[in-house]
Structure 1
Amino acid sequence: MNQEAVSLDRLPVTALKGVGDRLAEKLAKLGLHSVQDVLFHLPLRYLDRTRVTPIGALQPNVNAVIEGEIRAADIVYGRRRSLVCRLQDGSGTITLRFFHFSAAQKQRLTPGTRLRCFGESRRGASGLEFYHPEYESLDEAPALEQRLTPVYPATEGLTQLRMRSLATQALVWLERQAPAELLPEELRRELHQVPLAEALRYLHAPPRDADVHQLLEGEHPYQQRLAFEELLAHHLSLLMLRQQTQAEGAPPIVPDTRLERRFLESLPFELTGAQQRVHREILADLAKASPMLRMVQGDVGSGKTLVAAMAALAAVASGYQVAIMAPTEILAEQHRNNFGAWLAPLDIELGWLTGRLTPAKRRAQLERLASGEAQVVVGTHALFQQDVTFANLGLVVIDEQHRFGVHQRLELRQKGSHGGRRPHQLIMTATPIPRTLAMSAYADLDTSTIDELPPGRTPVTTVVISEQRRPEVIERVSRACEQGRQAYWVCTLIEESETLAAQAAEVSAENLREALPQLRVGLVHGRLKAKEKEQMMAAFKAGEVDLLVATTVIEVGVDVPNASLMIIENPERLGLAQLHQLRGRVGRGAEASHCVLLYGSPLSRQGRERLGVMRDTSDGFVIAERDLQLRGPGEVLGTRQTGDMQFKIADLERDAPLLPRVQKGAQQLLQTHPGLCQSIIERWLGENRRYLRV
């Protein structure tokens, strides 16, 4: 094979000197398979070895090159034996400290020896110190570096020296045949983008006068050039997914106004203005012959489920089936109860499918779905298993989309493929999506927002209290329950283990029963059988349980208007969005409601800040934005969703200002250079682009 003629994305890493099969395996762990991958594997940070800093000018916690003469060298015996050298340069003195040293080192590092050292200055017992610095004799030292020294993301068995050598070789290949410039010239000029090869050259070896602060923050124009193209690739992949979906056609759905009127008249309340507006937006989408792709977001208790029920009503009236998918059994059960109460009086048949059905019951439900007898089916991820078939699926409703990710909702969409048509999709989330994430992670969806709470909902007062005041909190629970109200006590665990969480909840329930013998204390956790959970929740709702001890399984969907007090233990372990979801379980009636965040001491600075946000606001959108700032997009969206969005260079929070230009650029490319779109996606998403083929 003539390597000169092969494009860098097709040239394997084994083309680089010193890369055999074993090293190629290690590089593969970092996602580096081709020479182009090595070029796009950018440094995490840079070390400045281009200039000597006078010892007297050193600041703590800074990497620097210093030169000087050893004036004293001794072995010091403290908690650990160390070799300590005092280095002077005329402007000041610094200590070099070695905890691990050999006899040869001790003989070399003697008074009068002149050294050049590189290390990080730290405060120590005798002023500033360098721990285990790199050093060389000034008599043998080469000239100072002319460029900043890159530090690369690495893995076990890959040294920085090796990574730098590979990057240097890749840059030689870059000079021979640069990666293709995939952004058209006119778009690059309009968006003020520098050439790709120039950006890669600069970022692997920045000159000594480079703005190091800008590089460390990821805000250098050359970094932004690459971040832009990567964000563009993700955005294009979602837009093309949308195009592909909408090109397939869908069954036009028209509501039955008489059925809708009967449904609305059966409700003990009227829809809010926001619910009516979102319902109109959904009906306009359903009437089209292309699949609806709409996300409805609204705060906890804003009435999203009711809007989804009205969409389901329209689909059933037009002769189609509806699938409603929830991420957990407990939320699926809540939906089954709600939809059953609303739709059964209208003679609409409800199906039920979860992973915990007995084989016989499962077979019976599958037959009802395949025959069309079940017009609306509620379930968990069991709905998109291979043996599930629908007679005529017209609408898919997915609750808490961020728990599933793109792949899973595409799999459910596949289920409804019928004669070249796809079902409409309605996605609900009570976790408001920050604008930045909506523009990037959900670019394939239209968004509706229910920004109005139903009348009669009382605001929840939130207090932050230390674990040391637990007896006061227990007394507060006692008073509330004695006045005829009910309370939740939520246990959280760091480990995502249902068993450990269940054990913790069991211990808490036992302790609370001892402390509050006059109260009826219930317990619900993920290890209980579905029927047991259902019975306990029903007992709580019926007022037969005063205090419900629970794990975070009650996060979404549970509606008990008489519950007006919630205690959350160790709230610092949860994200703000999850805390907001939990808090939304109270304040659902007319009674003043309270949430107590019972934190463990000591609380970190970020922990204090996060709990302060919960105390100060109940606006889900404000909380979502703060969650994004404090925890980053990966945590906010959840691993499944970000599994589809692994960024190499871009950072959604840092690069949010680029998104409007990314959106504009993506639209232009789709219209004027559709052929380039797939190449941009392949360059940046690699294997992750597979969901475009679903």
Structure 2
Amino acid sequence: MNLGDSVGVLRGVGPKKIQALNKLGVNTIEDLLTFYPFRYNDIAVKNLEEINSQEKVTLKGIVASEPVLVRFGRKKSRLNFKLLINHDVIGVTFFNQPWISKQVTTGQELAVYGKYDALRQSLSGIKIISRKTNDFVGVYRSSKDIKESIIKQLVKQAYDEYNSYIKDVVPESIRIKYRLENRKQMIHDIHFPSTKKEADLARRSAIFDEFFSFEAGLQLLKRDNHKNMGLRIKYNNEKLKEFIKGLPFELTKAQKRVVNEICADMLSPNHMNRLLQGDVGSGKTIIAAIAMYATVTAGFQAVLMAPTEILAQQHAEKLANLFEQYGISVALMTSSSLSRVKVKRELLKHLKNGDIDIVIGTHAVIQDNIEFHNLGLAITDEQHRFGVNQRRILRKKGVNPEILAMTATPIPRTLAITTYGEMDVSIIDELPKGRQPVKTSWVKKKQVKNVFEFVKRQLELGTQAYIISPLVEESELLDLQNAEEVFEKAKEYFGSEKVALLHGKMDANEKEQAMQAFKNKEVSILVSTTVIEVGVDVPNATVMIILDADRFGLAQLHQLRGRVGRGSKESYCILVADPKSEYGKERMKIMTETNDGFLISQKDLELRGPGEVLGKKQSGLPEFKVGDPVVNLNILQVAQEEAHNVVFSPNFETKEENFELIKYLNRQFAQEEIID
């Protein structure tokens, strides 16, 4: 017997129940024991004086009338009787539970749990409470295939039969330090508490237990990654200094700090696995350029993978110009650039024999037939846009290349700890000189004409504007502005020669033509969907209009806003929306009050949850059973710190107090990577 046994070993659990439990994420005995209640009902008997109206309570009294059962058709019924509590008479009603009439006898003492209506002095009954029932009981998730009562029975059976196999994952010294229960007691008290205080302590212990074991897994990955031999990229320091000195601007203090961190990683014998976070326009691309230049001076190749063709083309164009005087060759690899057989054949040949130093591309760079001569550095831009497998394949294009992941979606500490806990993190927390905060305002849809008037005045000053729509074509289901309709309206208002259209359904050449026309100031307005959300850089654009802004997440709105304010001119972002809910209005207010991407991302996380902020499929976010990384951030931070101290301590594997933790990690993560 062990906690890894299938739930099928329990009495009364056949194939149908196994299937129903599996759908709830319960496969093993351990899964069942950690299938915790999501809330508790306090069914202790209350006095009428201490009850609030509409509160769920247990009342005890003498049955003062014969129960009257009225049926409505085959399935519906109503049972009424009166309950005498001291000198008060309370009417009790049970709906659709006719069998309860057999449990009610005039003159008997009875405890009934239900919702109390103080105005009517009545109780809408939920169940009859027997004397054997605990006063504080857990409520569990269930499904149409398996009742909550069955789940409770199975949890009790599993605990009775397997409690001797429950071992402590958190070392005793840490449990004593933070006054946590041992795991056996914790699991007992979270399922079968006598009081709320007992349940609260058990839940607090369970949250720490869950966070600690997860973070220990991440720290183990981090430690093993540090042990892995890196390529030790011995770049030419003099050349690198000259390159940085030759840039048309001086790096900010934050950029200099991050460059030093990356260079130290490259020279280290350990493998680099670093996440570079920076707000919109903080200058991550130049950091990537410096890292790639250093890599090439050491005789290695570098690759940068971007999420869209537009961004890849923009990076390739900028970097080719930047590296031209240094004799470094840059190649663009996207589905479009590789579509012509002859061009593709030449590109692949030059990449394999080392004639190409740097590759900029989309997911096309991870195709099977693409081989590098000597890949030393792999960079992913907007890394959360790529799936786990795509990032893994990129890493395998070389022999343990150094890894640098970049994101312009500022990730709150909460998500950084849970999602990238095995990576070293660098943060650019300073914007380049001259960048002004974008003035953001929120207007209603009926004010769009005024907005267009404002745009017209801005265009007369020689600047340009974006107009963003959430949809490409008209939708029958959603009453939202669509890009094609907006494009036609903008042409009518501003003149057809001044407006271009860009959206994801256009082919690569059409996108390129629209983008180039905007960059070259051939058109003044670009009507677009969120295809321009990431990385597009047109310094002359000073106005960003976002239609139906309440349809976007806060982080996405911040990314879109970051397309303006990239030059020295004052810039504006106008959110057009009529949100109906307080939640929607709150989001619009947040955008007008701050330009701080980290603060916005934290607010987005609090409002929408981690899976929505990063994208559930790409984020690698764990599914915690009892802990909430946002609500329980303090516990999460302490758990990460303690897990790091334990895993990185000398002789981690040979210390007796760590044996159960090591067994647990092997059991939990043997068949999968904890996070990619």
TM bucket (normalised to shorter chain) is 0.7 to 0.9
Map Cα deviations across residues 27-57 of structure 1 (whole Å, 9 max, x no partner). Answer: 11222121121001111111222x2335565
The residue correspondences of 1:307-346 to structure 2 (distance < 5 A) are 307-346=287-326
2:375 equivalent in structure 1: 393
| Stretch moving more, 87-96 or 478-487 | 87-96
Name the aligned partner's letter for residue 334 of structure 1.
Q
Q: CA deviation at 1:70?
A: 6.5
The residue correspondences of 1:107-118 to structure 2 (distance < 5 A) are 117-118=112-113
Distance 2:120 2:347 in 1: 74
SS class of match (1:322): strand
1:375 equivalent in structure 2: 357
Name the aligned partner's letter for residue 38 of structure 1.
L
Q: CA deviation at 1:531?
A: 2.1
Alpha carbons 2:472, 2:483 under 8 Å: kept: no
1:7 equivalent in structure 2: 2
Map Cα deviations across residues 617-661 of structure 1 (whole Å, 9 max, x no partner). Answer: 111222222223223322333313543522222211122212343
2:530 equivalent in structure 1: 552
Map Cα deviations across residues 285-330 of structure 1 (whole Å, 9 max, x no partner). Answer: 1111222222222211111100110110010111101010122233
Q: Relative to 1, partners in 2 of residues 1:333 and 1:234: Cα closer, same or farther, differing over 3 Å?
A: farther
Distance 1:564 1:285 in 2: 38
Q: CA deviation at 1:87?
A: 5.3
TM-score (norm 1): 0.85
2:196 equivalent in structure 1: 210
1:196 maps to which of 163, 171, 183:
183
SS class of match (1:690): coil
2:235 equivalent in structure 1: 255
| Stretch moving more, 350-359 or 617-626 | 350-359
1:477 maps to which of 455, 460, 477:
455
SS class of match (2:500): strand
Name the aligned partner's letter for residue 597 of structure 2.
G
1:584 equivalent in structure 2: 562
Distance 1:272 1:83 in 2: 74
Say yes or no: does 1:65 pair with 2:42: no
Q: Relative to 1, partners in 2 of residues 1:255 and 1:91: Cα closer, same or farther, differing over 3 Å?
A: farther
SS class of match (1:150): strand
SS class of match (2:482): helix
Taking only the aligned residue pairs, the percentage that are identical comes to: 36
Q: CA deviation at 1:97?
A: 7.7
1:601 equivalent in structure 2: 579
Distance 1:645 1:513 in 2: 47
Map Cα deviations across residues 577-609 of structure 1 (whole Å, 9 max, x no partner). Answer: 22111111111112211111111231x222222
Map Cα deviations across residues 358-394 of structure 1 (whole Å, 9 max, x no partner). Answer: 2624444333332222211112233334333221110
Name the aligned partner's letter for residue 522 of structure 1.
A
SS class of match (2:409): coil
1:3 equivalent in structure 2: none
Distance 2:486 2:101 in 1: 58
What is the RMSD computed on CA atoms of the aligned residues? 3.5
TM-score (norm 2): 0.88
1:690 equivalent in structure 2: 673
1:134 equivalent in structure 2: 126
| Stretch moving more, 445-454 or 56-65 | 56-65
Say yes or no: does 1:352 pair with 2:329: no
Map Cα deviations across residues 236-289 of structure 1 (whole Å, 9 max, x no partner). Answer: 222222233333312222333554456446543222222222212211211112
2:145 maps to which of 147, 152, 157:
157
Q: CA deviation at 1:518?
A: 6.4
The residue correspondences of 1:19-168 to structure 2 (distance < 5 A) are 19-49=13-43, 51-54=44-47, 57-66=50-59, 89=84, 90-91=87-88, 93=90, 96=93, 98=95, 117-121=112-116, 133-136=125-128, 142-143=130-131, 145-168=133-156
Distance 1:222 1:340 in 2: 59
Alpha carbons 1:97, 1:129 under 8 Å: kept: no
Q: CA deviation at 1:186?
A: 3.1
Q: Relative to 1, partners in 2 of residues 1:632 and 1:384: Cα closer, same or farther, differing over 3 Å?
A: same
Q: CA deviation at 1:610?
A: 2.2
1:181 maps to which of 168, 172, 181:
168
Map Cα deviations across residues 134-156 of structure 1 (whole Å, 9 max, x no partner). Answer: 345xxxx6326224222222344
Alpha carbons 1:73, 1:110 under 8 Å: kept: no
Alpha carbons 2:470, 2:480 under 8 Å: kept: no
1:571 equivalent in structure 2: 549
Q: Relative to 1, partners in 2 of residues 1:665 and 1:513: Cα closer, same or farther, differing over 3 Å?
A: same
SS class of match (1:425): strand
Distance 2:557 2:548 in 1: 11
SS class of match (1:665): helix
2:257 equivalent in structure 1: 277
2:516 equivalent in structure 1: 538
Name the aligned partner's letter for residue 358 of structure 1.
S
Q: Relative to 1, partners in 2 of residues 1:87 and 1:571: Cα closer, same or farther, differing over 3 Å?
A: farther
Q: Relative to 1, partners in 2 of residues 1:76 and 1:539: Cα closer, same or farther, differing over 3 Å?
A: farther
Alpha carbons 1:42, 1:152 under 8 Å: kept: yes
2:278 maps to which of 298, 302, 308:
298
SS class of match (1:662): helix
Question: Any unmatched runs of 5+ in structure 2?
Answer: none
Say yes or no: does 1:674 pair with 2:661: no
Q: CA deviation at 1:487?
A: 1.1
Q: Relative to 1, partners in 2 of residues 1:72 and 1:173: Cα closer, same or farther, differing over 3 Å?
A: closer
Distance 2:243 2:208 in 1: 49
SS class of match (1:211): helix
Q: CA deviation at 1:170?
A: 1.0
Q: Relative to 1, partners in 2 of residues 1:351 and 1:129: Cα closer, same or farther, differing over 3 Å?
A: farther
SS class of match (2:673): helix
1:488 maps to which of 462, 466, 490:
466
Distance 1:351 1:127 in 2: 78
Distance 1:91 1:484 in 2: 80
Distance 1:576 1:686 in 2: 37
| Stretch moving more, 547-556 or 308-317 | 547-556
Alpha carbons 1:407, 1:691 under 8 Å: kept: no
Alpha carbons 1:325, 1:380 under 8 Å: kept: yes
SS class of match (1:308): helix
1:170 maps to which of 137, 155, 158:
158
| Stretch moving more, 261-270 or 395-404 | 261-270
Aligned length: 658
Alpha carbons 2:470, 2:481 under 8 Å: kept: no
Alpha carbons 1:402, 1:640 under 8 Å: kept: no
Q: Relative to 1, partners in 2 of residues 1:84 and 1:534: Cα closer, same or farther, differing over 3 Å?
A: farther
2:222 maps to which of 222, 238, 242:
242
Distance 2:369 2:223 in 1: 28
| Stretch moving more, 433-442 or 316-325 | 433-442
Distance 2:646 2:402 in 1: 27
Q: Relative to 1, partners in 2 of residues 1:82 and 1:129: Cα closer, same or farther, differing over 3 Å?
A: farther
Name the aligned partner's letter for residue 488 of structure 1.
Y
Distance 1:584 1:226 in 2: 41
Alpha carbons 2:300, 2:357 under 8 Å: kept: yes
